[in-house]
Homo-oligomer: A and B are copies of this chain.
Amino acid sequence: MTIHHQPGKERIDAVRGFNRFYTRQIGLLDEGLLKSVFSLTEARVLYELAHRDGLTATDLARDLGLDPGYLSRLLKKFEERGLVERVATQADARRSSITLTPAGRAAFAPLNQGSHDQVAALLDRLSAPEQDRLVRAMQTVQRLLGESAEPKVPYMLRPLQVGDIGWIIHRQGLLYAQEYGWDETYEALVAEILGAFVKSYDPKWERSWIAEREGEVVGSVFLVRQSDAVAKLRLLYVEPSARGLGIGRRLVEECIGFARTKGYKTVTLWTNDVLTSARRIYEAAGFKLANQEHHHAFGKDLVGQNWNLEL
């Protein structure tokens, strides 16, 4: 079930403001290209034809939001000028597959270059990190508003990098504050744990896994050595936006696998009973509840639990 949230007025106004802004922005960019023989819509059609194969008129009309009649005439004109070729598909004689001729490609090239140069000039006004932020922000917008085609790789695991622990502290602090009302002392605890982890990190006995999805950190877990026989799993966390992909289970499995190969006898972990989805993962992995006790922390009354897995 998807929960729908009443969007606030400020958000709506912000999006509308952006729409007005970008309408103008696109208008400005298009002006520069208006010098050419092609109209804007013609240029859009040529772009699609240059970049995708086996397109039919219907595909173009749908993807570019064009009137079929208008498009039909437009393609006819292109064909007369020798810019495109239409070949009826063998599967369906009503449709024809449209391709650019070499002459069509030649006509598109300066157009394409013009658009490229224009965007290059736009970007050139920004510093490299600003360009990066711009591109990332655009991709975020596109991902959220777009058809959100599932990424080919749902997620990948990688080792810790500079910036990760701060990010994880930030996200966990915010997340548990939002979801459970925990105060800033939880974020501070995470900071202390991770600071100490990196400082005393022993690659032979300890490890961390960061789950990344489309370049964003969406989960993590840390395994630290408590004694020769006991490894402790710490700070398992998965972004709400990336839940349901099995990332949590996978992270726990990686920990257990690592602990096995290193010869640990037990994996232990401490958690709180309110974290139900985490508990389900631990149970599924074979952990047993060893003991629990009431305690007051992070501004709440909580039940702390120790779980163990004998290997």
CA distance A127 to B136 in the complex (A): 20
Chain B residues near A65 (CB, 8 Å)? 24, 27-28, 31
Q: Is A138 part of the binding interface, using a Cβ–Cβ cutoff of 8 Å?
A: yes
Q: Is A29 part of the binding interface, using a Cβ–Cβ cutoff of 8 Å?
A: yes
When the two chains form their complex, are residues B124 and A133 in contact, meaning their CB atoms are under 8 A apart? no
When the two chains form their complex, are residues B15 and A119 in contact, meaning their CB atoms are under 8 A apart? yes
Chain B residues near A192 (CB, 8 Å)? 191-192, 195-196, 199
Q: Is A172 part of the binding interface, using a Cβ–Cβ cutoff of 8 Å?
A: yes
CA distance A171 to B162 in the complex (A): 10
Q: Is A240 part of the binding interface, using a Cβ–Cβ cutoff of 8 Å?
A: yes
Partner of A29, one of B19, B21, B188, B197: B19
Taking the full assembly, how many copies of this chain does it contain?
2
Q: Given contacts A16-B115, A21-B142, is CB(A174)–CB(B187) below 8 Å?
A: no
Chain B residues near A17 (CB, 8 Å)? 142
Q: Is A146 part of the binding interface, using a Cβ–Cβ cutoff of 8 Å?
A: yes
Partner of A133, one of B120, B131, B144: B144
When the two chains form their complex, are residues A138 and B26 in contact, meaning their CB atoms are under 8 A apart? no
Give the residue name and chain of the B residue nearest to A169 (CB): B166
Interface of A, helix, strand, loop or mixed by DSSP: helix
* Interface 1/0 per residue, A113-125 and B, CB below 8 Å: 0011001101111
When the two chains form their complex, are residues A123 and B15 in contact, meaning their CB atoms are under 8 A apart? yes
Chain B residues near A6 (CB, 8 Å)? 124
CA distance A198 to B182 in the complex (A): 14
When the two chains form their complex, are residues B124 and A7 in contact, meaning their CB atoms are under 8 A apart? yes
When the two chains form their complex, are residues A116 and B12 in contact, meaning their CB atoms are under 8 A apart? yes
When the two chains form their complex, are residues A5 and B177 in contact, meaning their CB atoms are under 8 A apart? no
Q: Is A134 part of the binding interface, using a Cβ–Cβ cutoff of 8 Å?
A: yes
Give the residue name and chain of the B residue nearest to A189 (CB): B195
15 contacts between A and B (CB under 8 A): A7-B120, A12-B116, A14-B139, A16-B119, A19-B26, A21-B142, A22-B22, A25-B145, A129-B240, A130-B241, A137-B144, A163-B174, A165-B170, A166-B167, A166-B170
